[in-house]
């Protein structure tokens, strides 16, 4: 994509044509524009695709919608169509003044959409960078929106600007994708303040993958006693994947207070928890659990048997091949 660096100057010819069509050049938030009714939609990608191939001949209609329509979603979708039409019409510079104008819109939906577009297409323009910096605080506030579309565009705008969106906003998002990005961000930033929210996600998020990704980060950031408490709860979680993630996190963070709970998992054969428990016990250096680990050397799962072999290499040693450990375990009567 070619980035144009022209200064912000509203397209006078477009304003003239918009005025001739009956739309005031200045923002008026006037009467409902029935010709823009199809823009009252949450299908942002769909509305962009609808007008993408028509070209910039339709630009005046959407500029007028941005300036005068009383409905925030309509104005925001008009912003999206303006950028899309100009980009695919290979006249990207035509969109810039209208996007800068929309950046001053009082509604966070329009602001976030304009900010995302500008940061993605024109961030190399000093005037665009200045305008975005002046609205950075408003964009940060928009990341807390309960509207997932507004929130997603605000987060995207800040990231494209090189700023870190507020982790709290992302972790509280209704979008699981944004919650996962918030977890990743909290981990990279080593954000200790995010620990309570991460623990809440680990315990109760409706999506298992979010819980699994929150567990190790929460364990890393939480105080030791808090870590041991919530990991101890989740080791017995009804979901096997969540339980395994908690066991893995206990091993990775050297939560030795949970060693007995993890050892107890070895009494059950099979499942993700068993392999995780063997690996965690090895990480904790719990050599007393070697007999319980050896009992899994004949499990059906190849991964579990290999985890047991590696654990015995570390806890008992010296390293041996799997058949040699199996023979050792039978000799010790750990295996039938």
Residue pair 136/159 in contact (Cβ under 8 Å)? The answer is no
Look at residue 205 in the predicted model and tell me its pLDDT: 97
* Half-sphere exposure of residue 271: CA atoms within 13 angstroms, side-chain side: 19
| Closest-CA residue to 27 (of 59, 66, 71, 83) | 66
Q: pTM of the full predicted structure?
A: 0.74
Look at residue 13 in the predicted model and tell me its pLDDT: 36
For residue 285, pLDDT beyond 80? yes
* Half-sphere exposure of residue 78: CA atoms within 13 angstroms, side-chain side: 30
In this structure, of 27-41, 145-159, 277-291, the range with the lowest mean pLDDT score is: 27-41
Average of per-residue pLDDT across 44-51 = 89
Percent of the chain with pLDDT over 90: 75
| Closest-CA residue to 37 (of 12, 57, 65) | 65
Look at residue 18 in the predicted model and tell me its pLDDT: 36
CA distance 90 to 317: 67
For residue 33, pLDDT beyond 70? no
Look at residue 31 in the predicted model and tell me its pLDDT: 41
Look at residue 268 in the predicted model and tell me its pLDDT: 74
N- to C-terminal Cα distance for the chain? 67
Look at residue 319 in the predicted model and tell me its pLDDT: 95
CA distance 26 to 19: 9
73-86 per-residue burial string, b: 16 or more CB within 10 A, e: under 16: bbbbbbbbbbbbbb
Helix and strand numbers (H, E) in the chain are 20, 0
- Whole-number Cα distances in Å, 293 to 80, 234, 277: 58, 21, 9
Look at residue 270 in the predicted model and tell me its pLDDT: 63
User: What is the per-residue DSSP string for 273-313?
Assistant: HHHHHHHHHHHHT-GGGHHHHHTTTT-S-HHHHHHHHHHHH
Average of per-residue pLDDT across 271-299 = 93
For residue 7, pLDDT beyond 60? no
pLDDT tens profile 255-273 = 999 999 999 999 876 678 9
CA 59 to chain centre: 33
CA distance 215 to 206: 14
Strand (E) positions, 34-85? none
In this structure, of 55-69, 106-120, 238-252, 283-297, the range with the lowest mean pLDDT score is: 55-69
Percent of the chain with pLDDT over 70: 88
Average of per-residue pLDDT across 11-18 = 35
Look at residue 35 in the predicted model and tell me its pLDDT: 59
Look at residue 297 in the predicted model and tell me its pLDDT: 94
For residue 92, pLDDT beyond 80? yes
Phi, psi for 239 (deg, rounded to 5): -85, 125
Confidence at 57, pLDDT banded by 50, 70, 90: confident
Residues 165, 170, 171, 176, CA torsion sign: negative
Summary mean pLDDT of the chain = 87
Confidence at 245, pLDDT banded by 50, 70, 90: very high
pLDDT tens profile 142-191 = 999 999 999 999 999 999 999 989 988 999 998 999 999 999 999 998 99
Residues 298, 299, 301, 304, CA torsion sign: negative
Average of per-residue pLDDT across 55-73 = 90
Phi, psi for 301 (deg, rounded to 5): -75, 125
For residue 296, pLDDT beyond 90? yes
For residue 5, pLDDT beyond 50? no
CA distance 334 to 311: 15
pLDDT tens profile 178-230 = 999 999 999 998 999 999 999 999 999 999 999 999 999 999 999 999 999 99
Look at residue 10 in the predicted model and tell me its pLDDT: 31
* Residue-range domain boundaries for the chain: 1-163
Average of per-residue pLDDT across 285-307 = 92
- Whole-number Cα distances in Å, 91 to 84, 113, 139, 156, 287: 10, 19, 27, 23, 69
């Amino acid at each position: 994509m070619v980035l144009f660096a022209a200064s912000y100057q509203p397209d006078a010819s477009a304003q003239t044509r918009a005025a001739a069509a009956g739309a005031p050049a200045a923002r008026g938030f006037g009467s409902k524009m029935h010709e823009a009714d199809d823009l009252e939609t949450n299908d942002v990608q769909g509305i962009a695709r609808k007008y993408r191939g028509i070209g910039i001949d339709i630009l005046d209609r959407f500029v007028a919608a941005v300036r005068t329509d009383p409905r925030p979603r309509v104005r925001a979708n008009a912003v999206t169509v303006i950028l899309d039409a100009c980009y695919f019409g290979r006249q990207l510079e035509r969109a810039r003044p209208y996007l800068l104008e929309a950046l001053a819109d009082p509604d966070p939906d329009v602001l976030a959409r304009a900010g995302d577009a500008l940061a993605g297409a024109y961030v190399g323009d000093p005037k665009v960078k200045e305008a975005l910096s002046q609205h950075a605080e408003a964009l940060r506030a928009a990341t807390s929106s309960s509207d997932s579309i507004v929130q997603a565009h605000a987060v995207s705008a800040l990231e494209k600007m090189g700023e870190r969106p507020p982790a709290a906003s992302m972790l509280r998002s209704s979008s699981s994708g944004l919650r996962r990005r918030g977890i990743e961000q909290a981990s990279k930033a080593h954000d200790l303040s995010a620990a309570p929210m991460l623990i809440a996600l680990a315990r109760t998020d409706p999506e298992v993958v979010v819980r699994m990704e929150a567990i190790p980060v929460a364990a890393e950031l939480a105080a030791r006693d808090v870590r041991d408490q919530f990991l101890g709860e989740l080791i017995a979680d009804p979901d096997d994947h969540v339980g395994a993630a908690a066991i893995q996190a206990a091993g990775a963070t050297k939560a030795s207070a949970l060693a007995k709970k993890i050892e107890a998992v070895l009494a059950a054969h099979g499942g993700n928890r068993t392999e995780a428990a063997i690996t965690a016990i090895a990480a904790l250096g719990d050599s007393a659990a070697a007999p319980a680990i050896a009992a899994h050397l004949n499990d059906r799962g190849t991964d579990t048997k290999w985890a047991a072999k590696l654990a015995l290499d570390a806890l008992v040693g010296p390293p041996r091949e799997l058949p040699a450990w199996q023979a050792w375990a039978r000799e010790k009567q750990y295996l039938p």
